[in-house]
Amino acid sequence: MLLWNLYFLIKFGLHFAGQLTISPLWNLGLFALLIATNPAAYQNKQLMKVLRYLVFTGPAIALLLHELGLVVSLALVDQIKALFGFSPDYLWELLKRTIQPWMLWGALLGFMIVRVLDRYIRISSWVGFGLVCILGIQALPFIQEQTQTNNTATVLEPQIQARENLSPAELLALGQVDFQKLRVARDQESQTKLRDNAYEGAGPGAVLAGFFERQRTIALAPFAPQASPDFDVIVLQICSLSWADLQYAKQSQHPAIRQADFVFENFNSATSYSGPAAIRLLRGKCGQTPHDALYSPANNSCMLFEQLRNVGFEVEMGLNHDGRFQDFSKLVKTNLGGRATELVAHDEVPAGVQAFDGSRVGRDGDYLRAWWNKRVQQSGPAVAYYYNSITLHDGNRLPNSNLNSLNSYPLRLERMLNDIQSVLGEIRRSERKALVVVVPEHGAGLTGEFGQLVGLRELPTPAITKVPVFGYWIAPGYTPANTGPVAVKQSVSYTALSELLVRWLAQTSDQQIKPSWPVLLSDLPATRLVSQQGNITVMESQGSYWIKAPGAAWKILGPVQTMAASN
């Protein structure tokens, strides 16, 4: 019973430290079963002991994870399956991140103390007593409420649990002082503040249903160019880069971002995985669809590149990796409309990093330059190019370097941003026209968060899905403003990007030489932050971020805040 008592005692400690909320009934149930199967009462004590561990260890761990607020989902099983494709180096790094030395020392010390105490007092009785007390404390307010008043109907959904811990990533992104200011401001906000949705106030479940209902009806205008286009549209989709990661790596002031023409400060990638991110971007000409709908065929009018093809663009694609992981290459091709020329193979250029699964990844600068050199030799006046990079993916390492993946992230990021800048220079020197947009797939989760380990992305939290989207117009005779990028502050997603393209294409050539960015970027379709990964949803509503896992109630993740690039 020694280890089992330790299990309960550690949970008491965590409960009173505010790290988890004990579910007394479940624990009492487990405790009673353990007492009933106490090996001392049976003939074959050793066998009983082993049997007891075999039967109860799994449920005990599941209960602990549940109480810690960790979401146990089927998506987690997928994650475990994916582990088999990882290189041994990356698996070792993940293990070291998960188990810290202090945990091992703490467990050892606890075990020794319980072992000594066990000789003098009956710890089991105290554990049982403790569980009953917690049950009593938790039931008390409920009983009081029942006896005082039960005639006020509440509009909020029941079982909503507030969470006090704030995401370190969000705190980090905003800085302590601004974060406090924002909290105070929010507390003072009046209850009657304008809502952007009629469902607001009816509980998060209704808000989410209303959101998808409204997104289904969004219909952007078709592309309608004034003349046949004479410029390229270059979309660079980057894996693993969020505003929080940018802050973490101290690169938010990198010239590649500071010198952009525009930047979306509150762009939601709506997912935390690569495949869904690519699908959402490539189908961005319609409103946001629920995660389940992503893998069924899309309406043609939703397909961004298919629509560009219809107005005279040739569609090309490029990946700086083999695209085999979770059939990514095929998925991209399908969502580009089935036909896309790939001018450069990922292994045609020098390797930039060693991938998390041991495969080869081409260096972004070399890859894009190789493509551009081939592109300028083509006769077509307009190419719509989709490029995907996994340089920043967790688990990747720089070749010939001792740095682990986490520590090499800032270097990998800086090099990628430098590479992008140098390719932009190349395009400028070629005297051609191009609209270049950088759209990260999702963040890397570098800061780790409540309920999520560093580098894992099971929960699509704002620290992971709020990504820096920025773009440039390159054309002979066009000089960007020296006042820095025009910032779009409202909460947007892929539809805003598609709408910007609609507006861009609708301009005359003369207008394109002197684009009015503030006009082009004003009143783009706003999108509430709703992010999904598998069956887990994170949503913004009433000034808070909420999370919903299957079988669990909505929980508050933390207060909403903006992550400005200027920090």
- Residue ranges binding Zn ion (CB under 5 A): 239, 274, 441
- Minimal distance, residue 245 CB to Zn ion, in Å: 12
What is the token pair recorded at 497? 């990007």
Q: State how far the Cα of 174 lies from the Cα of 270, in Å rounded to an integer.
A: 21
Nearer residue to Zn ion within complex by CB, 412 or 433: 412
Strands 262-268 and 466-474, bridge-based pairing:
antiparallel
Q: What are phi and psi of 112, to 5 degrees?
A: -65, -45
What is the token pair recorded at 78? 């997928």
Nearer residue to Zn ion within complex by CB, 11 or 321: 321
Q: Which helix (H) or strand (E) holds 518?
A: helix 517-521
Nearer residue to Zn ion within complex by CB, 6 or 278: 278
Distances 133 to 129, 139, 230 between C-alpha atoms, Å: 6, 10, 75
- Minimal distance, residue 498 CB to Zn ion, in Å: 20
CB-neighbour burial class of residue 542 (10 A; exposed 0-12, middle 13-18, buried 19+): middle
Q: State how far the Cα of 294 lies from the Cα of 310, in Å rounded to an integer.
A: 23
2-16 vs 101-117: helix crossing angle, rounded to 10? 120
Nearer residue to Zn ion within complex by CB, 220 or 277: 277
- Minimal distance, residue 81 CB to Zn ion, in Å: 17
- Minimal distance, residue 562 CB to Zn ion, in Å: 24
- Minimal distance, residue 4 CB to Zn ion, in Å: 41
Nearer residue to Zn ion within complex by CB, 274 or 544: 274
- Minimal distance, residue 269 CB to Zn ion, in Å: 9
- Minimal distance, residue 442 CB to Zn ion, in Å: 6
- Minimal distance, residue 279 CB to Zn ion, in Å: 12
Under 8 Å between Cβ of 320 and 351: no
- Minimal distance, residue 272 CB to Zn ion, in Å: 8
24-36 vs 2-16: helix crossing angle, rounded to 10? 170
Biggest CA pair distance of the chain: 93
Nearer residue to Zn ion within complex by CB, 306 or 441: 441
- Torsion on CA atoms 225, 231, 237, 241, rounded to nearest 10: -100
Nearer residue to Zn ion within complex by CB, 438 or 486: 438
Nearer residue to Zn ion within complex by CB, 274 or 531: 274
24-36 vs 45-68: helix crossing angle, rounded to 10? 180
Q: State how far the Cα of 318 lies from the Cα of 47, in Å rounded to an integer.
A: 60
Nearer residue to Zn ion within complex by CB, 239 or 344: 239
